Amino acid sequence: MIDDEIRLALPAAPDFARLARLTAAGLANRVDFTYDEVEDLRIAVGEACLVLIGPEGRSGTIDLVFRITTDGLEVEATGRFEADGSVDHPSDLSVHILDAVVDEHEVLASGRTVRLRKRRARR
């Protein structure tokens, strides 16, 4: 069940990924994630942005949808690029980072969308 949905569109540049990470941290805090869970989600969103735009950025935007669910947060990041539509698959390092910080993650076949899911720890 989804309680709220927040949308954010940013230029596909590394400097703007900070806003995505800040938004993720703020929302995670709002839904009572622990400090470690907030940091994990912030790291995961930053990594998702890096997977989509690379270290140099791209021409276009990243559209992020944050969904607050009954047990945590889901994030979907989609690259909307003006030029060359190809996106590299995530590096092994990115996959290992995402494995460590979120409960579920996937990069869709198009390579233009990254989905993340982070659940709150049971207390």
- d(C-alpha 92, C-alpha 70), whole Å: 31
Q: What is the pLDDT of residue 108?
A: 86
Predicted structure pTM score:
0.90
Q: What is the pLDDT of residue 123?
A: 60
Quick one: pLDDT band at residue 97, thresholds 50, 70, 90?
Answer: very high
- d(C-alpha 19, C-alpha 14), whole Å: 10
What domains lie within the chain, and their CATH numbers?
A: 2-119 (3.30.565.10)
The encoded tokens of residue 31 equal: 């839904």
- d(C-alpha 71, C-alpha 31), whole Å: 9
The encoded tokens of residue 108 equal: 């869709």
Angle at 86 between CA 91 and CA 65, to 5 degrees: 75
Q: What is the pLDDT of residue 111?
A: 76
Minimal CA–CA distance to 117: which of 81, 84, 55, 73? 73
HSE at residue 117, side-chain half, CA atoms within 13 A, is 10
Please provide the average confidence, as pLDDT, over all residues in the chain. 90
The count of other CB atoms within 10 Å of the CB of residue 80 is 14
Quick one: pLDDT band at residue 92, thresholds 50, 70, 90?
Answer: confident
Per-residue pLDDT tens for 55-75? 889 999 999 999 999 999 999
State the pairing for strand pair 113-119/72-81: antiparallel
Per-residue pLDDT tens for 10-42? 999 999 999 999 999 999 999 999 999 999 999
